[in-house]
Structure 1
Amino acid sequence: MSEESKITAGIDEAGRGPLAGPVTAAAVILPSDFNTEILNDSKKLPEKKRLAAAAVILEQAVSFSVGWVWASEIDAINIHNASLLAMKRAAEGLSIKAELYLADGKFEPNIDGEVRAVIRGDASEHCIMAASILAKTARDLWMIRYSWIEPLWEFERHKGYPTKKHAELIRRYGYSPIHRRTFNVPYGP
């Protein structure tokens, strides 16, 4: 069977670099007639376009799933292994088993089936671009909702990423329940 005719799922993660929150991965199987003009690497799309693209992906995807690895797990197994685990969880959550999994990056997650790592796949493979958009959107929305529970750290502003303001808030209030304890806080003591 040619690679083009295989049921293919794209997988990507978001949230490797933040000081707080989960690392989140999405797996997406797109229909063959999907309008790929809306796709791009999620980091290159403005938030409004990313949200609009995510809505179209959710509506039209053959199957999609999101996998989460929480801060305590990240601290226990490290961010690299957590990213691969999030990808595995996303792939395992698909309602349809893919015949081929294309994972962004240079490492293959441990998924039952044919897996291929694609370096910079979020810029070259449409199904990975779609996964990139869903992973970032899901994670950002989760961080915004969590900020309603723990408003002191202003997660709605920085989504857990290491900004000067975030570092200042950690120094002022200490760690929240979702901070990664093994990550270093930048910008001085």
Structure 2
Amino acid sequence: MVIESIPQAAPDYSHELAAQARGARLVAGVDEAGRGPLAGPVVVSAVVLDPNYIPDGLNDSKKLSEAQRETLFEQIVVSAIVSVVVAPPSIILSRNIRGATLWAMAQAVCGLSVAIDWALIDGRDVPPALPCDGIALIGGDGRSVSVAAASIVAKVTRDRMCAIMDCDAPHFGFSAHKGYGTPQHLRALTDHGPCRHHRAEFAPVANWRLASASA
């Protein structure tokens, strides 16, 4: 089941309360970071907020500055129940990007230290292997504070991983573009070819491999 996107000024706790009204005791927000880049993992987080301590300023991670995300990340991980799952390029290759994301979402919910009753999933799909009831919220990170918290945890975790990737393959500049297909990244891909962090099936990487094989 999908709830269509309804614009909101900021995310709130209404979707969690609606789930609780249906009988759910514990509700998690689930979101991912990194579906679009040419390199690096997809990172998914599931977060169960403490309703008595919801950090101020939770929002879609893309609407926050890096400093805001880092501050909120620290507040979330010390006050909420958090799970993080990483789907590396090998999983993306074997399952495709959609399948890898849904797999990681289900794994993140399973990885929580408590069994939840309801999951609020950012996007259009509820993972088929989800161990509880759930609903897909289009634009959920701008509608539910739990999903917003998950988006922040996933984004900060992935950005930190990109900094490590940058140390491993500095000529790509992963810290700057986070694996997205920027002109800088595409030039480096042309000059150096893909590294182990690249997603082999994504078009610019796959095209480079085809051109190299036919040269």
TM-score for both structures, normalised by structure 1: 0.93
- Write the distance in 1 (CA, Å) between the matches of 2:22 and 2:164: 40
Aligned pair in 2 of structure 1 residues 102, 72: CA closer, same or farther (>3 Å)? same
Instruction: In structure 2, list runs of 5 or more residues that go unmatched.
Output: 1-19, 209-215
**Which SS does the other structure have where 2:45 is aligned?**
strand
Aligned pair in 2 of structure 1 residues 101, 5: CA closer, same or farther (>3 Å)? closer
In structure 1, the residue matched to 2:124 is 106
Contact 2:109 2:131 in 1 (8 A): no
Cα deviations by residue, 1:126-161 (Å, 9 ceiling, x for unpaired): 100000000011011011012112212111111101
In structure 2, the residue matched to 1:83 is 101
In structure 1, the residue matched to 2:86 is 68
The amino acid of 2:187's aligned partner reads E
- Of residues 104, 115, 122 in structure 2, which corresponds to 1:97? 115
Q: Is 2:56 the partner of 1:14?
A: no
5 Å-filtered alignment, 1:29-40, equals 29-40=48-59
- Of residues 125, 130, 139 in structure 2, which corresponds to 1:120? 139
In structure 2, the residue matched to 1:181 is 200
- Of residues 45, 65, 89 in structure 2, which corresponds to 1:26? 45
Q: How much has 1:3 moved relative to structure 2?
A: 4.1
Please tell me the root mean square deviation across aligned C-alpha atoms, in Å: 1.7
The amino acid of 1:82's aligned partner reads A
Cα deviations by residue, 1:25-49 (Å, 9 ceiling, x for unpaired): 0000000112343200001101110
Q: How much has 1:185 moved relative to structure 2?
A: 2.1
- Write the distance in 1 (CA, Å) between the matches of 2:60 and 2:26: 21
The amino acid of 1:156's aligned partner reads S
- Write the distance in 2 (CA, Å) between the matches of 1:56 and 1:36: 7
Q: How much has 1:20 moved relative to structure 2?
A: 0.1
Contact 1:21 1:143 in 2 (8 A): yes
Contact 1:67 1:88 in 2 (8 A): no
Contact 1:68 1:89 in 2 (8 A): no
- Write the distance in 1 (CA, Å) between the matches of 2:152 and 2:59: 8
Q: How much has 1:85 moved relative to structure 2?
A: 1.1
In structure 2, the residue matched to 1:141 is 160
TM-score for both structures, normalised by structure 2: 0.83
Cα deviations by residue, 1:74-114 (Å, 9 ceiling, x for unpaired): 12211111111111121111101111111101100121111
Which is greater in Rg? Answer: 2
